[in-house]
Every structure is written in C-alpha cells, then in structure tokens.
Copies of this chain bind each other. A is one copy, B any other.
Amino acid sequence: MANNKDLNPACTTCIARANSVFGVLSHEQSHELTLHKSCAVYKRGQYIFNENGFPHALYCINQGKIKLNTTGIDGKEQILRLAKTGDVIGYRSLLSNERYHCSAVALEDSSVCVIDRNYFLEAVGNNPKLLFEVVRKITNDLKKAEEHIVSLSQKNVRERMAEALLFFKATFGFAADGQTLNVTFSREEIADYVGTSTESAIRLLSEFNQDKIIELAGKKIKILSLPKLIKTANIDD
C-alpha cells in the first residue's frame, strides 16, 4: 500500500507533535508512544485508509497534506475535511468503533505515523487530558461541518468558491511569498470541496482571475486581495 521507510522518527523530538493532540503528553509518555507506532510514506494520490474499511490505527501526519473524502452519487467525490502536518486522522471511526465513512488520500507526498489502535484507545482511557484534546478536535470538526451545511444550503456557487479559497488559506496558509496558497488541488478537487461541477469551478476561478481577486498560474493560486475575497464570500456580521 505504501513504501515503509526505515526511518521511524521519535515522538519525543517530533516537531509536529507540539501542534498535535499529543502535545499534552509528557516526555515519558511520548517515548512510550514511539514504541507503539511506525512511520509510512504515501505518494500523492495514495490512500491512507479507505471508506468502509475497519480502523486498525490512528494516523498522525508527520509531514504532508491529506484530504478526507467520501464517494457520493455516481462516484462523485466530496471533500469533507483537510489535514496537515501535526494533524491526526482516523479518530472519529476509532472512537465510535465503526467502519470509516470516508477515505484519506495524500494530496502530496506525505509521511504519516501509524499508531496502534489498542494503544491509542488505552491511552485516551487513561489520560483524560488527551481525550479532551481529541474531543476538542471533534467538536471543531462538527462546527466546521455545520458551517459548511449552512453555506451549501444558502449560498451560491460563487460565494462558496470564495469561501473555499479562504478555507484553504486558513488550513494550509501561504507559501514563502505570503500570497500564494501553500497547497495545490486539481480543479476537480476544488469542485469536490465546493460542491459544484468541475466546469463551474474553472469558470469561477477564471472570473476571480479577471476580477483581480486572485492570480492563476497553473495550479498555483495567488490571492491578490483578501478583502475582496471575503466580500465575495458574503461573510456577514
């Protein structure tokens, strides 16, 4: 499924851990965590886990970007969440003890730590602080999902496209130039987040380009005017 590199970075010195839910672990606990995980590398497009599969592990992104998506009508994909370095994925299904209801796919070559299921469940059972961290993550996911519901219900595609770009920026930030989104999607993937057709996504992006809101260079998207983008997204109050 994925190339298993020899290197297995230690959680104690992992830069990603600080921003992750495991930031609350003591040095000793981090060391123990290292003993119960292994690290794997996934190339762009490879699956970390699969819709309908049983969860056997928790995944912590050591370095990279992941999308969580699900297959809807006629095989059309819907991107539900995005994850970056330091994020964990797969906790929802682990905690609810269900099959995955979405798949995790690498958006770029990524190295991901695979944490043993039973170890994780024991760890959260014994460490309320850690469990609360995970709970905070899930409540945040729920909040974002419900905001997405309102957008899909009440906004038009143009507004949702602007929102999507703002969401990508909030999640992955900018590249070194401080303007270009630090992530690349195919047009279809953007459509899969916005909830529209690929053609409409393309049309809107090139409209934004003409309106000098963004600047396109292949898959690179440079945001020229954040205020214009916010206004286009019709974000109130």
Binding site for B on A (CB under 8 A): 70, 72-73, 76, 78, 80, 92, 95-96, 98, 101-102, 125, 128, 131-132, 134-136, 138-143, 145-150, 152-155, 195, 234, 236
In the assembled complex, 10 residue pairs joining A and B whose CB atoms fall closer than 8 Å, in A order, are: A73-B234, A80-B149, A95-B135, A96-B139, A96-B143, A98-B143, A125-B128, A138-B142, A152-B195, A154-B195
Please state if A102 and B146 are interface contacts (CB–CB under 8 Å): yes
Cross-interface CB contact of A72 among B73, B98, B139, B153, cutoff 8 Å: B153
Please state if A78 and B153 are interface contacts (CB–CB under 8 Å): yes
Please state if B140 and A142 are interface contacts (CB–CB under 8 Å): no
Please state if A150 and B92 are interface contacts (CB–CB under 8 Å): no
Q: Which residues of B contact A102 (CB under 8 A)?
A: 146
* Given A143-B96, A234-B73, A154-B101 contact (CB < 8 Å): no
User: Once bound together, how far apart are the Cα atoms of A143 and B70, in whole Å?
Assistant: 11
Please state if A149 and B150 are interface contacts (CB–CB under 8 Å): no
Cβ of A40 to closest chain B Cβ, rounded Å: 25
Please state if B152 and A236 are interface contacts (CB–CB under 8 Å): no
* Given A92-B143, A143-B92, A78-B138 contact (CB < 8 Å): no
Cross-interface CB contact of A149 among B76, B78, B95, B96, cutoff 8 Å: B78
Further 6 A-B residue pairs, CB within 8 A, beyond A102-B146, A145-B146: A72-B153, A73-B236, A98-B143, A128-B128, A149-B149, A153-B195
Which 4 A-B residue pairings sit nearest by Cβ, starting from the closest? A153-B195, A152-B152, A145-B145, A96-B139
Q: Which residues of B contact A76 (CB under 8 A)?
A: 154
Please state if A101 and B131 are interface contacts (CB–CB under 8 Å): no
Cβ of A201 to closest chain B Cβ, rounded Å: 12
Cβ of A62 to closest chain B Cβ, rounded Å: 25
Q: Which residues of B contact A138 (CB under 8 A)?
A: 135, 138-139, 142
Please state if A142 and B92 are interface contacts (CB–CB under 8 Å): yes
Cβ of A23 to closest chain B Cβ, rounded Å: 17
